Structure 1
């Protein structure tokens, strides 16, 4: 049976003000950064459902039954408020399930979970993402900072593989450069497979009957440059990771 993966996040809307002398006008664009990851997993045999940020508040699963339709869940560049503040709660003061707690229970009962880095992952830009204040902190294989956790590396920084693992099977030790990552800290419950600037880059953990992973840089630009997304081993990396999470 084909395994199913839910990817939430990896989209944004830009609203631009154009100033031309006395006059101004506005344009908006919608963009996604999911295509490389989605295509990699589909080519690896997975049935991938993509839930962009603007749909996630209402469409991300609210119940254990719904989320268990997926063998693994990936959060990438999606803040905790998007999961914690559905329309009914934010505008009507109505109760709804806590979906960070839901993910924790999903993993405890055998689900796979991965967080991928970005400006709206882990603690995030200006510490707005806030996963350290949620149940997600209990299941990740790393500890999050309590402040803006971005490490910007415009000069390029290359991760170092430090441990052999099936996730890195047939992946060379020489990687492309990255342009930044979310700084996290090692914990006894997690296993760090690769470091970047001596910080966790890829880490994994077993929690209850399930498994979790953290990839602290981006699966797409800008932290993940073209040299990474077009890397010969890009697809193998993500397929290996999901194979481990869902095995």
Structure 2
């Protein structure tokens, strides 16, 4: 049996540090990825996972709905709109290329599955730098986005609450979930389904768009908003397998 295919883009970053020691200083650079918990959960559920870190997605993310159709589901996690809008050949060489946000929208409308995962550079993000509000991606999502910095930081912890226990995304995930440390604030669209909430806001929203389905998970798939008790929670793998499975029309 052929494995379902999923593309995950984002969940990577580079940190440049300046070390000042009296008169002297030096710099170090560190590259990191935060995808391992999500990737392991999906691979364990039988998905064929293709992962594109943000710097790879800038050039390699599929440009057309037809290219995206090679995947049953597409996930964007902590990757800003500019990374997909400004292909290096457009930014450096002024080359006309397809709008990849529109490609995602049209892929979903044609029957594809789409998941957006929260973070500092998804939805609207820190200082509103993710910049998905008003784009084709927002059209496909089951939520509307604010134009300002939409982060809700909850260092005290905030416990998710299932709003629709009958939804396939949360099947078998009864009981209290581990706390999260933050999320992106969004608003439900008319006709979309609220699956789980966090505080007074949506955590998981699910909806139909054209022939396809889209899911918004407004917190993170890994630290820091998803702390160790959440990513190590026995329900974590089941949750993400069911999010992807529902978005792809397999549940």
TM-score in same-fold range (> 0.5): yes
Cross-structure match for 2:224: 222
Secondary structure of the corresponding residue to residue 163 of structure 1: coil
Are the counterparts in 2 of residues 159 and 177 from structure 1 also a CA contact under 8 Å? yes
Are the counterparts in 2 of residues 160 and 173 from structure 1 also a CA contact under 8 Å? no
Cross-structure match for 1:72: 73
Cα shift at 1:18: 0.3
Distance in 1 (alpha carbons) for counterparts of 2:189 and 2:58: 31
Cross-structure match for 1:173: 175
**Cα RMSD (Å):** 0.7
Secondary structure of the corresponding residue to residue 131 of structure 1: coil
Cross-structure match for 1:203: 205
Are the counterparts in 2 of residues 142 and 184 from structure 1 also a CA contact under 8 Å? yes
Secondary structure of the corresponding residue to residue 54 of structure 1: helix
Give the number of aligned pairs.
247
Distance in 1 (alpha carbons) for counterparts of 2:191 and 2:87: 32
Cα shift at 1:50: 0.4
Cross-structure match for 2:100: 99
Distance in 1 (alpha carbons) for counterparts of 2:175 and 2:161: 7
Cα shift at 1:243: 1.3
Cross-structure match for 2:184: 182
Structure 1 ranges of 4+ moved more than 3 A: none
Cross-structure match for 1:108: 109
Are the counterparts in 1 of residues 66 and 107 from structure 2 also a CA contact under 8 Å? no
Distance in 1 (alpha carbons) for counterparts of 2:61 and 2:150: 26
Secondary structure of the corresponding residue to residue 55 of structure 1: helix
Are the counterparts in 2 of residues 76 and 117 from structure 1 also a CA contact under 8 Å? yes
Moved more, 212-221 or 161-170: 161-170
Q: Deviations over 1:157-178 (max 9, x none)?
A: 1111111211111102311001
Distance in 2 (alpha carbons) for counterparts of 1:53 and 1:246: 23
Structure 2 unmatched runs, 5+: none
Distance in 1 (alpha carbons) for counterparts of 2:65 and 2:188: 29
Cα shift at 1:11: 0.3
Are the counterparts in 2 of residues 103 and 136 from structure 1 also a CA contact under 8 Å? yes
Cα shift at 1:57: 1.0
Structure 1 unmatched runs, 5+: none
Distance in 2 (alpha carbons) for counterparts of 1:232 and 1:156: 19
Distance in 2 (alpha carbons) for counterparts of 1:234 and 1:96: 38
Cross-structure match for 2:7: 6
Are the counterparts in 2 of residues 75 and 116 from structure 1 also a CA contact under 8 Å? yes
Cross-structure match for 1:244: 246
Output the TM-score relative to the length of structure 2: 0.97
Cα shift at 1:190: 1.2
